[in-house]
Structures are given as C-alpha cells and as structure tokens.
Chain A
Amino acid sequence: MIAMLLVAMLTPLGSGCGKSTGSRVFGTVAFDGKPVAGGKIYFTPNAAKGNSGPSGFADITNGRYDTAAAGGRNVQPGPTILAVDGVEPLDESEQTPDVTQRPLFQTHTESLEVPPTELQHDIAVPAAAKPVSAGRGI
C-alpha cells in the first residue's frame, strides 16, 4: 500500500523531462592509439549535402563517448560532420588555478552518415594531427 502510494506520488515527477530526439551515436575515441582522456565531440548536420537542423554532441570520458549520456544530445539522422576536441589533464606541477588541462590535437573532423536508429562509431585520430600549444593562461 505504502509502496503504491510512493509510486503514485513520484511517477509524475520523473516524467517531467522529455527524452531528446534523434539518433544515439557512441563509441571509442583514440589519439595515436591511446584513449583520449576528455574533451567533446560535436555532430553538425552537413549543409553541403542538404542536411540541416540541431547539432548533437557528447562528452569524451576515458576514451569513450555517448550522445545519450550526461553532457550529450542525440544526433539528427543524415549526412553529418563530426568534430573532435580532445584534452588531457596537465601534470600537477604544470597546473595553475585556471589552466588544468591541455588540448591533445587540433580539431579533428570526419564525415559520417547517421542512421535513424543508432550508430556505433569508433574514432581514431591519427598521430599526424598537428598538436597545439598548451595555450596561454586565462
């Protein structure tokens, strides 16, 4: 009885958030064969191939990404351009209050066809991707 009561009270609370539409895209991200520690992946509809609409994105966590996870948004199906920004934490001795991570490579882009359901897509950023400087302090 009490359990039913709780279920009745909590059900409407949980249903408040809408699930994001679009296709889930997930997989692994490696740079020079090693998992990328952090960063972000953006999925933009390819306007040159007639696709348009909202962009999807996903956080990179320990070499994996998933647009359906926290910090992500699912991807509009169709021709898509993905852009990867990978970062890694700086050594403790190099950190300042405002700079704690550094970029691993310049933004890496790929073309991708996203199906209406879901897609596993593993990304291998070549070692030749030009590294960037640690950047100025901010």
Chain B
Amino acid sequence: MPRARHQPSGFTLVELLVVIAIIGVLIGLLLPAVQAAREASRRAACLSKVKQLALANLNFENQSKHFPPGSQENVFPKNAASRDPASGPFIVGTSWIVFVLPLLEEQSLYDRYDFNVRFDHANNAAVGNTVVNTLFCPSGPTPLEYRDPNPGGVNGNPSTHYYGVMGPGGATDNFQITIGGQTFTYRLGNGSSNGAFSGHGILTQMKDQAGSITTGRLVKMSQITDGTSKTFLLGERSVRLPSGTSNSYRSWIRGQTGGCGATKNLRYPLNSTNYTANNFNDISFGSQHPGGALFGMADGSARFVNESIALDILRAVASMGSGEVAQLE
C-alpha cells in the first residue's frame, strides 16, 4: 500500500510562538488600560470618602454652630476641680475626627472615647486601635502599614489619610504671599517648629490658654468669607513613604501635643515633603493618585487638585477669610 506523505495535524513551533507573541502584545497593550481603570475607580472611592468627611464636618457645624477643633492642645479637663494652671497645662489633644465620629455612623466608637483624659491615655487605646475604613484611601498604603511609633495608648495605632487643613504655612509669623500683585500677611504660631500652626484655616489647632492666635478657636460658617467653595476644609495625605522610612504617620485620634496628628498646614507643594525634623505640621498633602491629591472644600464638595497649580494659589485657598482672589483653575 503506498503511504501518503505525512500531513502534520498540529501547529509548528514557529506558529505557536507567533500566536504567543501576538497574545503577549495584546496583553501588553491592555494591561496599562486596565491599571488606569482600576486607579480611576479607587480615586472615585477616595473622592466619596473625602465628601463624607466634609459633610460630617458641615453637619457638625449645623448642630454645634461651629466646626470641630482641628487639633486640640492644652485643654484643661472640663468640670474638674483640679483645674490649676500653676500645675501646668492639661493636654487632652483630641483630633477633629473623633468629634465627627457620630456623623460617620460610628456612634459606638464615639461613646467609648474618654474626653476627660489625654488622647494617648490607656483609656483611649481601644478606640485609637480601631481601623475606621472611611479614613483610608484605597490607592494609598494599607491602614496598618504605617503605625504610630509613640509610647502609651497610641502605640501601634493606625493613622488617617485625611487631614484637616490648618491654613497656609510659612517659615515665620507674619509671612507674606503675593497673589495677582497684591500682598497678604498671615499669622503663624510656633514657626519653624514641629508644632507650627496657622490661624487662618477651618480645622486648626485650638488652645484653652489666653495669648495664642488659636485661643478658643472654633470656626463658624459665617467666618469663611473667602467663600465656602473656595476654601479647603480637609485634604488627602496617603503617600507611600520612601523605602527604609516609616516615621511620618501618627494616630488618627491625636490632636496636638508638639505636633498635630490629623491636621497639617499647607506650606509645601503637593507630594513633596515627608517628616524629617521640625516640619511635622508642614508635611505636604499628597497621594498615590497620579498628578495630585483630593481635597474637600468647606461647601461639602470634593475635588482633585493638580500638583502643578502654583503653591501660593493653594496656600491662599487654604485661608478662609483673607480676601485673596485665588482660583484653583
């Protein structure tokens, strides 16, 4: 029987490699698009969290007729017979986030917080150790990646990715910004120290003692004369730290003791500055979203702010009542 010439029934090696190469090219084209779509959805989730936090602050203002203190410092215990200034200040030091917990549907957490002791007292360790999901941007580091290194009740606490904007920051008190040819002057307490605080933002530092630019500072809606849609209320800081460093984030319940845990001055460009020395309150806002970070405005809206916007414009928007004409775009 004459044998027919053998016909190959499968693919040759070359055909197979060509097919694999084509699939590889297609996947290579698709992957960046998929990554961009995933980042866009994470950014949308982050935007929604910023908006929730901004609305919680507005609802707080509606109920209490003032915004919460951004970072308490040196607040004496309420109704305490032991209130003796001679024995030194009593730092309660609670952050704004604790004050708005009931408005974030976290009433049970709020009820567990003891306002009569310091934020880093053992009584508050359980609250401080709780991960509140609203406080974390999905594009940023995970809640437990960077924890508070300090001793006491805050040791190992998760941090927050959303910070109150204390106002424009600068090197010294009475620093100046020029906007459109006009020069504005700003007050700053404790310049060039970890505890530097602006007197021009909404969620600022608040002291009990007289003689500070932030004595009893609880901001009312009517004081935001630059316009609520043109003033930063809070901003995002959810950057991953350079490898080998971890010392930039603190407990989310921390107000001010030396430096502020949950509020920052807007002094430096977005995505520029991590904690080194004496710049704790000036650590820059920023995020893992490409090209900028999300901010909540005082009218309850949330928006993306491009990192290429001039720094002085951002600083002017951080101030609530200085009369600058500063457009974000």
Any B CB within 8 A of the CB of A132: yes
Residue of B nearest to A43 (CB): B269
Any A CB within 8 A of the CB of B60: no
Any A CB within 8 A of the CB of B149: yes
Any B CB within 8 A of the CB of A128: no
Give the Cβ gap from B251 to chain A, nearest Cβ, in Å. 11
Question: What is the CA–CA distance of A11 and B29 in the complex, to the nearest angstrom?
Answer: 9
Chain B interface, >50% SS class: loop
Does the CB pair A1–B194 fall under 8 Å?
no
Does the CB pair A13–B307 fall under 8 Å?
no
Give the Cβ gap from A13 to chain B, nearest Cβ, in Å. 6
Question: What is the CA–CA distance of A44 and B21 in the complex, to the nearest angstrom?
Answer: 48
Question: What is the CA–CA distance of A134 and B124 in the complex, to the nearest angstrom?
Answer: 29
| CB-contact partner of A54 in B171, B250, B308, under 8 A | B308
Give the Cβ gap from B296 to chain A, nearest Cβ, in Å. 22
Any A CB within 8 A of the CB of B258: yes
Does the CB pair B269–A11 fall under 8 Å?
no
Give the Cβ gap from B169 to chain A, nearest Cβ, in Å. 12
Residue of A nearest to B314 (CB): A55
Any B CB within 8 A of the CB of A40: yes
Question: What is the CA–CA distance of A9 and B28 in the complex, to the nearest angstrom?
Answer: 5
Stretch at the interface among A24-32, A101-109, A113-121: A101-109
Residue of A nearest to B27 (CB): A9
Any B CB within 8 A of the CB of A16: yes
Does the CB pair A97–B276 fall under 8 Å?
no
Any B CB within 8 A of the CB of A71: yes
Does the CB pair B277–A99 fall under 8 Å?
yes
Give the Cβ gap from A79 to chain B, nearest Cβ, in Å. 13
Any B CB within 8 A of the CB of A33: no
* Contacting residues, chain B, for A38 (C-beta < 8 A): 276
Question: What is the CA–CA distance of A70 and B245 in the complex, to the nearest angstrom?
Answer: 14
Question: Can you show 19 pairs from A to B with CB atoms below 8 A apart?
Answer: A5-B17, A8-B21, A8-B25, A9-B24, A40-B272, A40-B273, A40-B276, A54-B309, A57-B273, A70-B242, A87-B277, A98-B149, A98-B247, A98-B250, A101-B276, A102-B278, A107-B192, A136-B258, A138-B257
> B interface vs A, CB < 8 Å?
17, 20-21, 24-25, 27-29, 31-32, 35, 149-151, 171, 178, 192-195, 242, 247, 250, 257-259, 268-269, 271-273, 276-280, 307-312
Extra 20 A-B pairs, beta carbons < 8 Å, given A87-B276, A138-B194:
A5-B17, A5-B21, A9-B24, A9-B25, A12-B28, A13-B28, A13-B32, A42-B268, A44-B311, A47-B178, A53-B308, A55-B272, A55-B310, A73-B272, A100-B247, A103-B278, A106-B171, A106-B192, A138-B195, A138-B250
